[in-house]
Chain A
Amino acid sequence: MLRYRRTLFCRCSNLKKISLYIHIPFCERKCLYCDFLSFSAPDEVRREYVSVLIRQIKSAASQYKDRRVISVFFGGGTPSVLPGTLICDIMDNIRNEFDVDKSAEISIEVNPGTAYDLDSYISAGINRLSIGLQSSVESELKKLGRIHNVRDFETLYEQALLKGFNNINVDLMSGIPGQTLSSYEGSLRYLVDDPFRPKPSHISAYSLSVEEGTPFSRMKLDLPDEDTEREMYKITSDILSEKGYTHYEISNYSLAGSECEHNKVYWRRGDYLGLGLGASSMVDNVRWKNTGSIEDYIKKDDFAPKQVGHLTIKDQMEEFMFLGLRMKEGVSIAGFREYFGVPFPPEYDQVIDKYVSLGLLKKDKMCVMLTQDGISVSNLIMSEFIF
């Protein structure tokens, strides 16, 4: 694994890199907490969407001929609601139009309750699965409005292992209505403590946030209190590190060599191109989004960049800090100087000193990073780097 990663970086060193995010906005049914751009749609619409998506891939690619694709991520929505052949079509087109590195990380999100097609994923070259489990407690899955049960997950997970997928992420959620510390611990141990099932190489453990406009925001929820949630966060870190996972990002844990390369591109401010409805991009310090209107996208082939933002140096510095701090390795002091040609501005030093003295940031010669306590209140700290 380690050797494989090393080659990835060596090989690409001379070429500009790019990552691709492919948005599949369809779901069988929307979960009650979800505020992502997704909806259910009939089969014809899904097929039409894919043909438009392929047109966008073709029209976008010409501008990135000098780039090598180091990761591709199929996100949603639920990409696994699409027939596997369509995923193959999309990947074929990507490979035809872009220079995709042979060892690129290619991920797809899979819902255990959909008719996923692992064989097609393999022939499409997908080498990483991200499975939305959220909880191993049936009642909690029901409260979230998930379409699958625990048994569905087990079937998918076993099949995936049998078919040779060794890089698998499982999503877990804390702060679910009705969840207790022990039921959450049960979900964690279910994943990593079962002698008869290999543990996943990657776990994404994040806490539920109730977003405006979702059904959850209108419901009376019996949410765990703040101290319980904090405790959940702590045992996640304790249990997973005991099991050999590295806590490499605020809500991501991995076994050695299985960090998600695609997500790290976001935190390290690498270039990425979003394809599909509402997808976000950042290339050469310009951020934009695709249209969020399915009508405009499908009927008018509206691929024009929306909400285009040219990042100023100040914007870039702010992002460098708050994105970098998400990573366990933190923000590299030398990296900052190298990128911007100047050291931290004095106002950043003040913020850093303040939080170092509060024990929420750590600073050594190389890096500035959040401490375990700092992670719990990371928003507050990150917001301080915005001026």
Chain B
Amino acid sequence: MSNTDQSKIRNFCIVAHIDHGKSTLADRIIEMTGLLTSREMQSQVLDNMDLERERGITIKAQTVRTVYKAKDGNEYIFNLIDTPGHVDFNYEVSRSLAACDGAILVVDAAQGIEAQTLANVYLALDHDLEVFPVINKIDLPSAEPDRVKAEIEDVIGIEAMDAPLISAKNGIGIEDVLESVVAKIPAPKGDPNAPLKALIFDSLYDAYKGVIVFCRLFDGSVKRGTQIRMMATGAVADVVEVGYFGAGQFIVCDELSAGMVGYITASIKNVRDTSVGDTVTDNNNPCKEALPGYKKVLSMVYCGMYPADGAKYPDLRDALEKLQLNDASLTYEPETSVALGFGFRCGFLGLLHLEIICERLEREYNLDLVTTAPGVIYHVYKTDGEMIELTNPSNLPDPSQIDHMEEPIVSAEIMVTTEFIGPIMELCQQRRGKYLGMEYMETSRALLKYELPLNEIIYDFFDALKSKSRGYASFDYELKGYEKSDLVKLDILINKEEIDALSFIVHKEGAYERGRKMCEKLKTEIPRHLFEIPIQACVGGKVIARETIKALRKDVLAKCYGGDITRKKKLLEKQKEGKKRMRQFGNVEIPQNAFLSVLKLEED
């Protein structure tokens, strides 16, 4: 292994808009390169988290190494790094890109370029990657490969006329793709004799191996026994094992050298010692300077996370620490809530990211969580001139001390077929969008440009967009800056008690609507109690919306038959179990689901 010829290595990723077939193409490449037989292929080999397979999306960047015997008679090593497509996970994409030398751009032959196609291609080009397009789903009746090719050349400005025409699903044209990888993706050009210089692009915690560092070697080599140093954290450790990524498994090898992608396990004690984006070098022969690493990611959406069982607070801290290792875009710091006790204020890239983290905490770490309404960072300017970055609505100072507030604004690009321009513009208007302009991509499609307040899009904007365009609109955004805005704090009172965990900041004009919907939603989520429960939405002490949960009047078991007491007990246990998943607020028990469900308020 030590003499791996770099000219026979291709490190690449696949970028695409969501649902354009990126993961399917990855599956075919793995299949065609012969590491797995068709029978062994579980569909979507790379999406190895249960969650990913269930949702059909890629969350984590995944890596696999395969061997391809090309038509020129040589065997090439392909390191394929799968990337997520959702706008929330741009950060993951850029991490993967930094480990690659080139990218395959997958474009749907029927849908053409979408908002995230553009976003991802620009990211790839920013990283100086060689990008070549393939046109997927050419066997669809609605496929228009020529139109799409022209569009790619026109809009993105990369050569597309000889793009492979493929169907990843049905295995058409995959060999063309493989040959293009060999021909078009440049081989790595590192110096194997220079001091070790490797980029950590991912890491994860394994119960048996400890911290596993995923890295791309730019220069030098590393093997068992090498004493490595993390250049940013300064941590030093002895390498225990090096290897590369088979499909779904780690394969040990003797040495990793320049140009290769693989993993390292070492006597790393603390998960915090390995941060993604850091450079690994040889402690006894260090390289002069670290790789540029990544731009520190900015969390856009914040919420409080609390263990349902207060005693599990240390477990939650532990789980967050381990998750962060695997997902550097997650940030957290401790906080306390009157209603919920000790927990963490966590920062996310977007709402989908938040949901995924919650589900992973619940599934992989077996934690029951209570989550507060997510919000963005507001800038609160106080009358004394001080500015507070507010992530938790409960920390909003008294109105008398506030001079004004600013909220984050994003520049959004929405790509849509012309028939839906009307409804989409209406939606953006409702969400306080500022229209910037529109460009026609071709006669039937347009790119709408808006400025939107971030807090208007973190909840359900994406869903609304999809439903208003019958799934055809695509959307991408980036933070633009802060603007002054007329914001108020909306409080929710349940049985006359304010639930701090449900408070949030909202634009004055949207307060009534939002308050009403929250009350309606909570009414359906909170089970009936023995007494009537009023749910009120208030702004500055004034009630703006109200619902009432009727008192429970009847809950009796029918006949208890033939002495089957066990069955009756199971029913009672189930009822009790349901109560355990609830939080007690005064006399009222609120299910944990209620906290997350109010975020998904449906459109009228």
Contact = CB atoms under 8 A, between A and B. Distances in A.
B576 A383 contact: yes
B554 A380 contact: no
B41 interface: no
A360 interface: yes
Contacts of A281: 563
Contact of B530 (A207, A266, A360): A360
Nearest to A19: B563
A227 B553 contact: yes
A101 to B, nearest CB: 19
A274 B563 contact: yes
B556 A378 contact: yes
B576 A384 contact: yes
A279 B565 CA distance: 11
Nearest to B559: A206
Interface majority SS on B: helix, strand, loop or mixed?
A: helix
Interface in A223-272: 226-227, 229-230, 233, 250-251, 265-266, 272
A272 B563 contact: yes
Contacts of A289: 564, 566
Given A377-B530, A379-B557, 5 more contacts: A233-B554, A274-B562, A326-B560, A384-B576, A386-B576
B556 A377 contact: yes
Contact of B566 (A75, A227, A307, A377): A307
A376 B561 contact: no
A376 B554 contact: yes
B556 A323 contact: no
A133 interface: no
Given A282-B563, A386-B572, A376 B558 contact: no
A313 B303 CA distance: 43
Given A383-B576, A384-B576, A386-B573, A375 B562 contact: no
Interface string A361-387: 000000000000001111110111011
A322 B565 CA distance: 10
Interface of B: 530, 552-566, 568-569, 571-573, 575-576, 579
A230 B564 CA distance: 26
Contacts of B566: 280, 287, 289, 307, 309
B553 A319 contact: no
A340 interface: no
27 contacts: A23-B562, A36-B562, A207-B556, A229-B554, A230-B554, A251-B556, A251-B558, A274-B562, A280-B562, A280-B565, A282-B563, A289-B564, A307-B566, A322-B569, A322-B572, A323-B565, A360-B530, A375-B556, A376-B553, A376-B555, A376-B556, A377-B556, A379-B556, A379-B572, A383-B572, A383-B575, A384-B576
A173 to B, nearest CB: 9
Q: List the 5 closest pairs (A to B, CB-CB), nearest first.
A: A383-B575, A209-B558, A383-B572, A379-B555, A383-B576
Contact of A266 (B552, B558, B560): B560
B424 to A, nearest CB: 39
Nearest to A309: B566
Nearest to B579: A383
A380 B559 contact: no
A226 B528 CA distance: 13
Contacts of B568: 322
B563 A250 contact: no
A36 B572 CA distance: 19
Interface string A169-211: 0000000000000000000000000000000000010111100
A382 B553 CA distance: 15
Interface in A303-338: 307, 309, 318-319, 322-323, 326
A121 interface: no
A115 interface: no
Pick from A229, A326, A380, A386 the residue with the most CB of B within 10 Å.
A380
A26 B135 CA distance: 65
Contacts of A272: 563
Contacts of B556: 207, 233, 250-251, 375-379
Contacts of B564: 280, 289
B467 to A, nearest CB: 29
B558 A208 contact: yes
B311 to A, nearest CB: 16
A290 to B, nearest CB: 11
Given A358-B530, A384-B576, A379 B558 contact: no
B214 to A, nearest CB: 46
A279 B561 CA distance: 10
Contacts of B579: 383
B555 A386 contact: no
A319 B558 contact: no
Nearest to A75: B562
A265 to B, nearest CB: 8
A274 B553 CA distance: 35
Interface of A: 21, 23, 36, 75, 204, 206-209, 226-227, 229-230, 233, 250-251, 265-266, 272, 274, 279-282, 287, 289, 307, 309, 318-319, 322-323, 326, 358, 360, 375-380, 382-384, 386-387
B2 to A, nearest CB: 62
B530 A75 contact: no
Given A322-B569, A383-B572, A75 B561 contact: yes
A207 B555 CA distance: 10
Contacts of B553: 226-227, 230, 376-377
Contact of A379 (B561, B563, B565, B571): B571
A226 B562 contact: no
Nearest to B552: A377
A326 B556 CA distance: 10
Contacts of B552: 377, 380
Given A377-B556, A379-B555, A318 B569 contact: yes
Nearest to A232: B554
B526 to A, nearest CB: 15
A372 to B, nearest CB: 12
Contacts of A280: 562-566
B549 to A, nearest CB: 13
A355 to B, nearest CB: 9
A132 B464 CA distance: 55
Contact of B555 (A287, A378, A387): A378
A208 B572 CA distance: 18
A358 B530 CA distance: 9
Contacts of B561: 36, 75
Given A207-B556, A377-B555, A21 B572 contact: no
Nearest to A288: B566
B145 to A, nearest CB: 49
Contact of B562 (A21, A318, A358): A21
A21 to B, nearest CB: 6
B88 to A, nearest CB: 38
Contacts of B573: 383, 386
Nearest to A76: B562
A25 to B, nearest CB: 11
A233 B558 CA distance: 12
B559 A204 contact: yes
Contact of A226 (B530, B554, B572): B554
A204 B553 CA distance: 21
Contacts of A322: 568-569, 572
Nearest to A375: B556
Contacts of A75: 561-562
Given A282-B563, A322-B569, A380 B530 contact: yes
A19 to B, nearest CB: 8
A117 to B, nearest CB: 22
B475 to A, nearest CB: 41
A338 B502 CA distance: 49
B569 A379 contact: no
Interface centre among B553, B555, B556, B576 (most CB of A within 10 A): B556
A266 B565 contact: yes
Contacts of B576: 383-384, 386-387
A287 B565 contact: yes
A382 B568 CA distance: 11
A378 B572 contact: no
